[in-house]
Structure 1
């Protein structure tokens, strides 16, 4: 990737930075509007900004070499990333989050709805790509981590709820020790439903009208479903690995002494 970027045509590299600059400008307008309307702490500008700048850096790093523009589907995903970055930055200010819990829930709901819009746009415009799918998946994982941390910040659940947010990252790290976990998984409706259920239940837990015991119960149920979903994927990957390493029929290694 790095070597390809060195030989990238200048006009392609220039459009990349135009996209990044436009995204940053829109994020600044969004944050400034929220800061003004919600009387948010000034430090939120810095915390949310650092999260979004990190996001932009990762996008620039993984940007496909041959791409000139990001595309509308990925721009919508980036807009969703702006909302997630604001929520992530607000985690450092739990008193503000508690005072503005309805707004936080509304921003999370908007991010959830946009998750369906970017996929629809990608299919409609026939602009689906590995980069877009990875961008969407990584943002989903980070969004779930942020929502898990938000429940803790609002005293709606204990620290155990972070397991929901870090489980996917633990799965990725486990793949470094066991390469068979890095094999591609087939599309799964179960996996998609588990992801939507996690986000929806964590989002409901943020609502001021939802008591802590209800939010805790919903989060516990989401954790159970998530553990089942990951367990099913691990079992499938394990079976595929064992099948690929099983001795072929007629192979001397397959004959028992």
Structure 2
């Protein structure tokens, strides 16, 4: 019983306390640094939206953490150098989410491109730091996956709402969830789920998507050019999701 208390305190601290504190801090910081975003669409405050999104990301990560026996080690791993870089990336993506409710005629039109581009630039740096200092952890993996997925949703959504990308480009955001849902459905039905193919192509195309969305968010880039290039960039990534599902479902030759 005594051992369960510190574990419970870590779960509450990481899963509830940390997201709430982080959300409040980010919302207050944005309201002071970016006062032009104080009022947004639909009566929503962009700093509050960013704070809530930031809290949601951290809650998702904290919810899946197993404190184990060494409760202090959880906090040390979470706030290690590599994870600190990842946390900054997640905060930048949360700021991008706040611009979902910002009208297009804003003096801060560069902010989504700078924040998302900054997060993209940090992507991979956290892994490099982790491998260099020997601190690759499960927490870091969850942080990286959560923030990557979140960024793939909010950045294209801002671009679509601002008319910088066609609405069908959001299919790349939905593709991850459709794929995971289809794999989950197979497991529920008791059907076999095979291994994914080599992930190098998927990682390469994900990098292409990140770069393209960043470019689309840059105000001086011609919208006509972005819309013309969008299907060329989108098609290979959707094809890879389809390939992955065919692989895990055993429909590709040599995979069962």
1:108 is displaced (CA, Å) by 1.1
Contact 1:80 1:115 in 2 (8 A): yes
Give TM-score scaled by structure 1 length.
Answer: 0.79
Q: Deviations over 1:213-245 (max 9, x none)?
A: 211233222211211221332233233899686
1:152 aligned onto 2:139: no
Pair 1:92 & 2:101 matched: yes
| Equivalent position SS for 1:63 | coil
Q: Supply the RMSD in Å over aligned alpha carbons.
A: 2.9
CA change 1:172–1:10 in 2 (3 A) is: closer
Match of 2:59 in 1: 57
Structure 2 portions without partners, runs of 5+: 40-44
**Could you tell me whether the CA contact under 8 Å between 1:34 and 1:40 is conserved in 2?**
no
Cα distance change on mapping 1:244 and 1:230 into 2, 3 Å: closer
SS of alignment partner, residue 37 of structure 2: coil
Counting only pairs closer than 5 Å after superposition, residues 152-171 of structure 1 correspond to structure 2 as: 152-171=160-179
Aligned to 2:88: 79
**CA spacing shift, 1:125–1:181, aligned 2, 3 Å:** farther
How far, CA to CA, are the matches of 2:177 and 2:8 in structure 1? 35
Aligned partners of 2:4, 2:82: CA distance in 1, in Å? Answer: 26
Q: Which of 232, 236, 253 is the aligned partner of 2:247? A: 236
1:200 is aligned to 211
Post-superposition offset of 1:14: 8.0
**Does structure 2 conserve the Cα–Cα contact (< 8 Å) formed by 1:48 and 1:89?**
yes
2:38 paired residue number = 41
- Greater Rg by CA: 1
Deviation per CA, 1:24-67, whole angstroms, max 9, x where unpaired?
5653464244324xx22241121111111212221221223134
Alignment of 1:175 with 2:175, yes or no, is no
Partner Cα separation in structure 1 for residue 198 and residue 82 of structure 2: 20
1:183 CA displacement: 4.8
Q: Contact 1:80–1:111 (CA<8 Å) still a contact in 2?
A: yes
